[in-house]
Amino acid sequence: MPELPEVEVTRLSFAERIRGARVLAAHPGLPLRWPLGCTPESLVGRTVQDVQRRGKYLLLQLDHGVLLVHLGMSGSLGFRTAPAAPGRHDHFDLVTTHGTLRLHDPRRFGAVVWSAGTQVDPARKLLGSLGMEPLGEQFDPAAFHAGLRGRRAPIKQVLLAGDVVVGVGNIYASEALFQAGIRPTVRADRLSRARADRLHAAVRQVLARAVERGGSTLRDFSSATGDSGHFQLEAAVYGRAGQPCPQCATPVRLIRQGQRSTYFCPRCQRA
């Protein structure tokens, strides 16, 4: 599943190229997770003013309204200037004067949704419960610790839930917990302020490094320009069950938490 780094990499790969473009046509394909929320014809003539991100949603700010794009489980966006016929798994085209933005989504769990603004439904409903942005100024250590103190679930699952901090996907949660020296099974409300501060710093560092490395391509992720991510090549524990920990050489352990794979070092992450 594309996580925050992959979504941010996607945004950076086409935001400047589509900014200022006028919409010429919108072509929905097979139904996606949620309906578009407007007629495709009503988007014609609108201008793309900016491309922002909130959590794992891309926000195409138009001169009237906003298009929220979610990549779902298997989606990716491509932006091309040369016309090309849509393929079997291409389910939305936004044709503009600068090129075509195309959503490719084999599993169709993604979405393109129009809203009159971010403070009204459906955008308010989709974005309203999201936690702090880990790469933004609002990601304050004290607020992060306060959010964790209200959660009794294991810290790994709290990171994935998205209501305390948004966009820390499975691979990045495992890597941040390893970097902070925190076992993924410890209850979130039992983390001291000092340990929460270490985790706060690790989350920021891991996600920033992932964006720098173009995200992670575990299966078929690529940016809007077709580039693959490389962060997975330098993961310390994720996907390395049975291999030696890079710090102490203890074999990395794999457990299951909430149907997700969790990787950690039982020696470096004792508590």
Indicate if 234 belongs to the active site: no
**Are 111 and 125 a contacting pair, CB within 8 Å?**
no
Q: Which of 53, 54, 56, 102 is catalytic?
A: 56
Residues 106, 93: Cα–Cα separation, whole Å = 15
| Nearest in space to 172 (alpha carbons), one of 51, 7, 59 | 7
Indicate if 212 belongs to the active site: no
Q: Give the distance from CA 199 to its chain's centroid.
A: 19
Indicate if 35 belongs to the active site: no
Q: Which of 149, 193, 260, 266 is catalytic?
A: 260
User: In which order are the strands placed within the sheet that holds 48-54?
Assistant: 48-54, 57-62, 66-70, 111-115
Strand 76-80 with 260-264, pairing: unpaired
Indicate if 2 belongs to the active site: yes
Strand 57-62 with 48-54, pairing: antiparallel
Q: Which two tokens stand for residue 230?
A: 């490389």
Q: How far apart are the first and last CA of the chain?
A: 29
Cα distances (Å, whole numbers) of residue 75 to 39, 62, 135: 22, 22, 23
* Strand ranges, E, within the chain: 23-28, 48-54, 57-62, 66-70, 76-80, 90-96, 99-104, 111-115, 253-257, 260-264
Q: Which of 3, 6, 8, 175 is catalytic?
A: 3
- The secondary structure of residue 234, as a DSSP letter, is G
Helices 170-180 and 193-212: angle between axes, nearest 10 degrees: 130
Q: Which of 2, 5, 134, 184 is catalytic?
A: 2
Q: Which residues are catalytic, by number? A: 2-3, 56, 260
